[in-house]
Structure 1
């Protein structure tokens, strides 16, 4: 296996939320990390060992530019974590717009597929892909039809991809978190005060008594891309505080 210090991980959505927590965890382990975002911060604002990179997963040209940058990197590509995503304000499906339908699948579903189509040719044997889904894909709540279906498509794609690339020694996993503290819901139009109230109220619904933190998911990602998980592929793992028990 390649030494961790000479491995490259690409994390989309890697400058906030779960993506940032995963990027930071891998950097602490010695990985070289590219954290991709539409509006990346300056490197000085990021944890040590993380290189912020501009990339919009909904833009084919931007993803091609990312692949070109990865191809020129001195470290081999060993892990891709697809954490980039978006949400919509919760509302009945029949109130959704054509623009909302197009956008959420363009980012959540086709963004994941587009990144992997560009980066998988650069990945050698022993590489790992981790795609982020949501427990809403398995158990949708009212008002989440578009978001849940965009993530459900990621799950089915990931299972099919795992079977296709196994003979190359590449592993593919899906992690489906329940509600995790993240900026994605604020970007969906929820006010700060409403968001904190949601976290408090929803936290009481979980058997473990709280909503998730980005680090709860990042630690699983850290394991899934490690050599300790070398005999695992095609898995869908829920990180949900026990939510699926109810």
Structure 2
């Protein structure tokens, strides 16, 4: 009988795995039979997430923008498991800043974490990533839209979408599939942070939901299910794509 678990026996890495989309995906991966390494910058949140995930998960503290932290991460994975089957390069940040007001620090923060972090996470994973493995990158609907006050963040997500194309070409001989998942507005702590008060957050959520054809924000678990699809054999003939999970907001 076919094993019902889509990721049985797989070893996975999820960066930014302590909250929101990363944690929801980690829960899905564990439920589907994978052993999961998660990263995060804040020790308390990392420990809490590992406790929630259970015995088939480990947490390794680190900042994806730091190459020494990435070296430590992959050394630990090599020592504990010896290989990876799945890399979900998910860690990222998003802050509002109009073009006229954006600072160098704002620009550097977003490109260091979102672009540099994603690039070197995947580069440094390659020696451990087994042939036939899967790489999933977190892009965003804003990578192909033009929302005001998010020009830097949107540019980082467009770069990540580009990585899915070029890395598909570069890794084809190893049968490693690279795809991007592009969430729309998802009910996460990161989205909540755009509001300075609970009332303002509620207004932001209501405004965003009104723009979505399905009439609501997405749930992190809905992204997790899409990532499981891209990580599993269910998507064995899918490479280089951008899978929008956005309630239709960027589609019509």
Query: Which of 95, 115, 129 in structure 2 is aligned with 1:109?
Result: 115
TM-score by length of 1: 0.93
Give RMSD over aligned pairs.
1.7
Query: Which of 18, 42, 47 in structure 2 is aligned with 1:15?
Result: 18
TM-score by length of 2: 0.91
Find out whether 1:171 has 2:160 as its counterpart. no
Deviations 1:156-183 (A, max 9, x none): 1221011100110100000111111112
8 Å contact kept, 2:35–2:57? yes
8 Å contact kept, 1:173–1:233? yes
Find out whether 1:229 has 2:235 as its counterpart. yes
SS of equivalent to 1:106: helix
8 Å contact kept, 2:98–2:148? yes
Structure 2 matches for 1:59-70, cutoff 5 A? 59-70=66-77
Equivalents in 1 of 2:106, 2:198: separation in Å?
22
Question: Closer, same or farther in 2 for the Cα pair 1:27/1:244, shift >3 Å?
Answer: same
Equivalents in 2 of 1:68, 1:22: separation in Å?
23
Q: Which moved more, 1:185-194 or 1:31-40?
A: 185-194
SS of equivalent to 1:118: helix
Aligned to 1:53: 60
| 1:26 Cα deviation from its structure 2 partner | 0.5
Q: Which moved more, 1:60-69 or 1:34-43?
A: 34-43
Equivalents in 2 of 1:106, 1:26: separation in Å?
27
Question: Closer, same or farther in 2 for the Cα pair 1:245/1:165, shift >3 Å?
Answer: closer
Equivalents in 2 of 1:16, 1:234: separation in Å?
26
Equivalents in 2 of 1:188, 1:64: separation in Å?
32
Aligned to 1:38: 41
Find out whether 1:24 has 2:27 as its counterpart. yes
Query: Which of 138, 141, 156 in structure 2 is aligned with 1:135?
Result: 141
SS of equivalent to 1:127: strand
Query: Which of 5, 9, 23 in structure 2 is aligned with 1:6?
Result: 9
Deviations 1:179-216 (A, max 9, x none): 11112234567444322221122112211110111011
Structure 2 matches for 1:123-162, cutoff 5 A? 123-162=129-168
Q: Size of the alignment, in residue pairs? A: 243
Find out whether 1:243 has 2:252 as its counterpart. no
Deviations 1:66-107 (A, max 9, x none): 010111123630000011100112x31120111111010000
